[in-house]
Amino acid sequence: MKSESRRRSLGKSPQTPAATGSEIYHCSECGKSFTKSGDLQKHKRFHTGERPYHCEQCGKSFARQSNLQKHQRVHTGEKPYHCGQCGKSFTFQSNLQIHQRIHTGEKPYHCEQCGKSFARQSHLQIHKRFHTGEKPYHCGQCGKSFNCQSNLQKHQRVHTGEKPYLCGQCGKSFSQEIHLRTHQRIHTGEKPYHCGQCGKSFARQSHLQTHQRIHTGEKPYHCGQCGKSFTCQSNLQIHQRIHTGVKPYHCEQCEKIFTLEGNLQKHQRIHTGEKPYQCPQCGKSFTRQSTLQIHQRTHTGEKPYHCGQCGKSFICQSTLQIHQRVHTGEKPYHCEQCGKSFTLQGNLQKHQRIHTGEKPYYCPQCGKSFSRQSHLQIHQRIHTGEKPYNCGQCEKSFTCQSNLQIHQRIHTGEKPYHCGQCEKSFTCQSNLQIHERSHTGVKPYHCGQCEKSFTSQNNLQIHERSHTGVKPYHCGQCGKSFNSLSNLQVHERIHTRKAISL
């Protein structure tokens, strides 16, 4: 009687050893069967919640002693299970078995709906939620849902700001371990993902996948508004900001806003003066790595971007794209104030300063302001006396290349700018524009003192000297002064004629 009472308390089956060959123990709560009494007792702890085995170091409790022993390896760092192929070590045998599938390629867990296979059962379970749409893990702060707990934990770091993964070399922190591993390849130079077609290597598998679409021509991400397609989702998201006008990245120093975080970081180097990318050949430094790579082609002579229409080659893709507009006539950048179009965004920005009057570039010597940095650099040569552009035919020198090109037309006789009304030709475009005003009657330059108007700014400046009395042009022979260079030249002929008559 005493023996039977003990067996009942353990949930022992009424089956006899003679009938089954061994004693069977059933769980009274879930019906699960066990051949050993001890296994039943361990199992019952799942129902009772009992965890009699405690870790002395962190206080964590376990239902089984074997689980406590495995856990203690977290504190000791012990990894007794080693991979025979790559030498990697693991704390648990099950983790080693899962790892070995990387070498064998075994994926024993299959999705019944799409046939996709997985090395881990847990990965299959997460994958199945793509089909069912189930997202059982919810963020308590913003309500966003996730299909696996690890994604929820990663997301919650957005709210907490936690970045627990620290780079030992540069101190940068990351919210995810995989991001730290990818980052560390910057220091090691490791690029483990190789393109089978061109041999190019990448630090990230996603970058390889995106790159391979160059070979396949695949552009799976489509803009719903304009139909444009992209090789990667991030480029589509960036493109969509053109339609929405969203610029989520703000500079705290000048309040300029950007569509890309990378562009903000590059912009901030304007304020800090940081130029972390240095050319090993000439020592020149750059704020962007891409700019350094383009610069290095000036040393190598490499011009990898070719125009399919005229065969001309360029050191960077953007310059090729700009050049191709010569053939297409495309001017995609439009001024909203006057409707003028430009082939380059930079030219539009410079043009808009005509309307705003902005002149952000100042000469530190005389305080004069300019709307373009290149104009400031040319102006500063007035102070330094530098004239780096020399004419090969008469050795005359100029402060800027465009003036040299205009001057060289004196020798060649070239007059490429033609008036459409009288067919008169000019060596430079500005002279054509001034001339065309003789046909239209436009006189856009007005004197503030007498309201007289002029077709060119130069004529206005000469006229204004009649009010101020300024005569900056002096005769070297008699010292007489004049308000314009042309008047001085006319005067000098008096001395020339006198010299001839003598």
Q: Is the pLDDT of residue 499 over 80?
A: no
> CA distances (Å), 85 to each of 80, 82, 92, 94, in order?
15, 9, 17, 16
Residue 500 has pLDDT above 80, yes or no: no
* Range 263-286 burial, b when 16+ CB lie within 10 A, else e: bbebbbeeeeeeeebeeeeeeeeb
**Do residues 148 and 127 make contact, with C-beta atoms less than 8 angstroms apart?**
no
Rounded distance between C-alpha atoms, residue 483 and residue 499, angstroms: 25
Q: In the predicted model, what is the mean pLDDT of the chain? A: 88
Write the pLDDT tens digit of every residue in 152-173.
988 998 899 899 999 998 999 9
**Exposure string over 211-247, b if 16+ CB within 10 A, otherwise e:** bbeeeeeeeebeeeeeeeebbbeeebeebbeeeeeee
Give 82's pLDDT tier (boundaries 50, 70, 90): very high
Write down the pTM of the prediction.
Answer: 0.35
pLDDT recorded at residue 289: 87
Residue 317: how many other CB atoms lie within 10 Å: 11
Model confidence pLDDT, tens digit, residues 414-459: 999 999 999 899 999 989 999 999 999 999 999 999 989 999 888 9
| pLDDT over 50 at 1, yes or no | no
Task: For 207, list phi and psi in degrees, rounded to 5.
Answer: -70, -40
**pLDDT per position as a tens digit, 307-362:** 999 999 999 998 998 999 989 999 999 999 899 999 888 889 889 988 998 999 99
Domains of the chain in sequence order: 378-496 (3.30.160.60)
